[in-house]
Amino acid sequence: MSRTHSPSRRLAALAISASLLFGAAACGSDDDETGADTVAQGSTDEGSGNGDTRQFEQPDGTVVEIPAEPQSIVACGYAVLPLVQAGANLSAVCEWTRELENMNDEEKAAYDAIDKVAPDGDVSSLDYEGVAAADPDLIIMGVPAMAKSIVDMERLEGLAPVVFIGPVTPGDWRTLGEQYADAAGVGDNYGEFKDEYEARAAEIEEAFSEQFADLTFGGICADCDEGAGTITVEYRSSYTVNLLDDLGLNFPGEPSNPDDVHGETLSLEQLTSAFADIDVIVYKVDADGSTPEPLATIQQSDAWKSLPAVQAGQVIEVEHARAATYRTALLALDSIEESLTELAAAL
């Protein structure tokens, strides 16, 4: 099937230039791997804090020597909010505006107090002088590894050790937060809400999975703008639908181009065919309940109105859809449960 733009390129672009999904989509890259592990090997090299360092294994297998107890961290991308929540020693961050509505008062105050060195999703605009002014002893880049091609790595590495841990899919936030906290030396402080999130997801799955076992679900990226007459379809673990990954629901299909990983851009005509057998459509809504552009405009089209799920009124509108930590994902689960309850009552 033909496509207008490759979402794999879009995922990278959103992580590298303005937009991740996750300030529209919080997006990942197809070229990353997650699962960075640490190899604790204390040494006495000079550095911040007590001067000890350790070896940190990155997702690509390379090892970076980092401070055992970082005292001045610059963080970007998906690393920002987990490190704010964990109380890491942040001296500067890239903006993370996509989750401003999800932050509680304490998180928002802490985030606001930190110097900003790049817009959300645009490390190509990184303020290197601002990074230098923060006097970092560790830089954590929670963006796709391919962003290295547009970041002046030599300049960054001249300031401090640099760790790159980025997502393959938006749903990778479940493991990324722990890795960022580990690198920052605050692993014991992160994950406070993990057990609560997992219990809540299990509760929702138990309540609805049997009733919805025969239904097919399909995701739409509400704020992915690939041009007039096109729409971005989300598959499992994509921008918004990743928040339903743990609920036992059936999201069939995959991109025709494996490089696209979790989503692809279709024409509206192709959407009609692709969603002919989809029973329930899932998409993001803003904090005020409104539908973002370009989906708001697409919803006025005959192609959208002809979709069986739309005609049946079977849609799930997800608030807090850019959640990328356990605490903020709990907010999204509340919204999802409300929609599932309404859907179940109507079946």
- Cis status, amide bond into 294, omega within 30 of 0: yes
Amino acid letter, residue 241: V
Tokens representing 33?
A: 């791997």
Distance CA 325, CA 243 (A): 11
Structure confidence at residue 257 (pLDDT): 86
Give CA–CA dist 169/27, Å, rounded: 7
What pLDDT, in 10s, does the model give residues 250-298? Answer: 999 999 888 888 999 999 999 999 999 999 999 999 989 999 999 999 9
Confidence grade of residue 26 (pLDDT, cut at 50, 70, 90): very low
The alpha carbon of 183 is separated from its chain's Cα centroid by a whole number of angstroms, namely 19
pLDDT, residue 49, reads: 53
- Chain segment 191-224, per-residue pLDDT in tens: 999 999 999 999 999 999 999 999 999 999 999 9
Structure-block tokens of residue 23: 């300030």
| Range with the poorest average pLDDT among 30-34, 64-68, 103-107, 319-323 | 30-34
What letter represents residue 340's amino acid?
A: L
Domains of the chain (ranges, CATH numbers)? 36-189 (3.40.50.1980), 195-346 (3.40.50.1980)
Three-state SS sequence of 202-250: HHHHHHHCCCCCCCCEEEECCCCCCCCCEEEEECCCCCCHHHHHHHCCC
CA distance 310 to 241: 17
> Would the pLDDT of 75 be above 90?
yes
- Single pTM value for the model: 0.84
| Summary count for the chain: helices (H), strands (E) | 12, 13
* Average pLDDT value over all residues in the chain: 87
Does residue 24 have a pLDDT over 70? no
3-state helix, strand, coil in the chain (%, to 5): 40, 15, 45
Identify whether the C-beta of residue 140 lies closer than 8 Å to the C-beta of residue 78. Answer: no
